[in-house]
Amino acid sequence: MTCVPVWCRPVPVLLLLAGCGGSSPSPTGPSTPTSFLTGSWSGTLTIQVNPGDPIVQPPTSGPTRWTFEVMPQSNLQSFRATVRSDHPWLTMVTTATTALTPGNTAPAQISTQGQFPSPRGCTGTFGSVGTAQATRIEASFSGTDCQQATFAGTVVLTKE
């Protein structure tokens, strides 16, 4: 009987090919649903300070950017909004709460309320109500600053 070295023996082809070929993709979890509102929106904030005063200044405008993050378990109707205003009278960055009604698809009614650190050294409050389309928001914007001043106007945002 002749002994054949191991390196000269035939190797079954099936063993060599076992690691080749297209393997199926690994399973993934369900995709997380997103809202049309999620993401960054930029536009213009136009306000008039103390609109009820007898000697009122005309409305002024400035750039603003809002970023919306959906809140968990909210049926895509509640959001955390980061609001940045570079308006000359109302420069601020704050976090607010936003809700969509009656549903979570555009068009929907949008309302946002929050507090902000005023450039005049106090905490102010604001609210906004309007309509959210798939790529455009038009809403009122009003509030109180330092218990001494009120402001009212509009915010118009376009999805980035």
Within-domain flag for 115: yes
Residue with tokens 């607010």: 96
Is 25 inside a domain boundary? no
Residue 3 falls inside a structural domain:
no
| 86 occurs within a structural domain | yes
List the single range of 1-5, 17-21, 73-77, 89-93 with lowest mean pLDDT: 17-21
Q: Is residue 118 part of a domain?
A: yes
Whether residue 52 lies inside any domain: the answer is no
DSSP 72-125: TTSTT-EEEEEEEEE-SS-EEEEEEEEEEES-SSSSEEEEEEEEEE-TTSSEEE
**CB-based contact 59:153 (threshold 8 Å):** yes
> What pLDDT is stored for residue 33 in this prediction?
78
Q: Report how far residue 71's alpha carbon sits from residue 57's, in angstroms, rounded to the nearest whole number.
A: 39
- For tokens 């945002």, the residue is 157
| pTM of the model as a whole | 0.80
Distance CA 30, CA 67 (A): 25
Residues comprising the chain, all counted:
160
Number of domains in the chain: 1
Give the range of the structural domain holding residue 80, as residue numbers without chain letter: 62-146
- Residue 110, in any domain of the structure: yes
pLDDT tens digits, 37-94: 999 999 999 999 999 899 999 999 999 999 999 999 999 999 999 999 999 999 999 9
In the predicted structure, residue 151 carries a pLDDT above the cut 50: yes
Report pLDDT digits (tens) over 132-144: 999 999 999 999 9
Residue type, 153: G
Give 88's contacts (C-beta < 8 A, 6+ positions apart).
60, 62
Q: Is 7 helix (H, G, I), strand (E, B) or coil?
A: helix
Residue 54 falls inside a structural domain: no
pLDDT averaged over every residue in the chain:
87
Q: Which residue carries 């790529």 as its tokens?
A: 135
